[in-house]
């Protein structure tokens, strides 16, 4: 009887422990439903980038982000053409330079609770860059769909059912 009680106690303890959210992750979820599509584990100051082709001037844009206190902070932007949606200069404290063909905006500290992205259908080819790997958003979301990217603490169960693990 004592062994059964200890076994049940251990199983209950493991079940409860598996519900505690202690994995900090960046989650990419379906914008309309909140369903998790993909995720990757992060620590404070972890970096990732999103690269795409601008829909109007059809040149590459790279936005660099950092995990900052369970939020997402944009730290840098690289692009080749001025135009719709592109910065025309630096805000206070930012540095605007030109390196070869690219305009580079650094020292950015723009913090967001989440990022909403409409995945390009034809030209954009939105791609997540993470630890020297490239993950096209079209690999886990429909072209033309809306995704939300945010930093979340996940438990074991959420990791198991949380979509494609990246990184």
**Does the predicted model carry a pTM greater than 0.85?**
yes
Q: How far is CA 147 from the centre of its chain?
A: 10
pLDDT tens string 125-149? 999 999 999 999 999 998 889 999 9
The SS3 of residue 16 is helix
Q: Tell me the pLDDT of the chain (167 aa) as tens digits.
A: 788 878 787 777 777 777 778 899 999 999 999 999 999 999 999 999 999 999 888 999 999 999 999 999 999 999 999 888 888 888 899 999 999 999 999 999 999 999 999 998 888 899 999 999 999 999 999 888 999 999 999 988 888 887 888 87
SS3 annotation, 28-79: EEECCCCCEEEEEECCCCCEEEEEEECCCCCCEEEEEEEEECCEEEEEEEEE
């Amino acid at each position: 009887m004592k062994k059964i009680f200890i076994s049940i106690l251990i199983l209950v303890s493991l079940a409860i422990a598996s519900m505690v959210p202690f994995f900090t992750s960046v989650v990419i979820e379906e914008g309309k439903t909140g369903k998790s599509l993909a995720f990757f584990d992060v620590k404070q100051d972890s970096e990732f980038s999103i690269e795409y082709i601008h829909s109007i001037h059809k040149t590459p844009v790279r936005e660099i982000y950092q995990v900052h206190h369970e939020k997402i902070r944009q730290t840098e932007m690289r692009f080749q053409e001025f135009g719709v949606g592109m910065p025309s200069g630096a805000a206070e404290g930012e540095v605007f330079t030109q390196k070869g063909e690219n305009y580079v905006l650094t020292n950015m500290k723009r913090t967001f609770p989440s990022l909403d992205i409409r995945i390009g259908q034809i030209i954009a080819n939105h791609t997540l860059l993470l630890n020297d790997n490239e993950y096209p958003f079209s690999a886990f979301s429909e072209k033309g769909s809306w995704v939300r990217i945010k930093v979340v603490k996940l438990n074991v169960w959420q990791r198991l059912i949380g979509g494609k693990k990246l990184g």
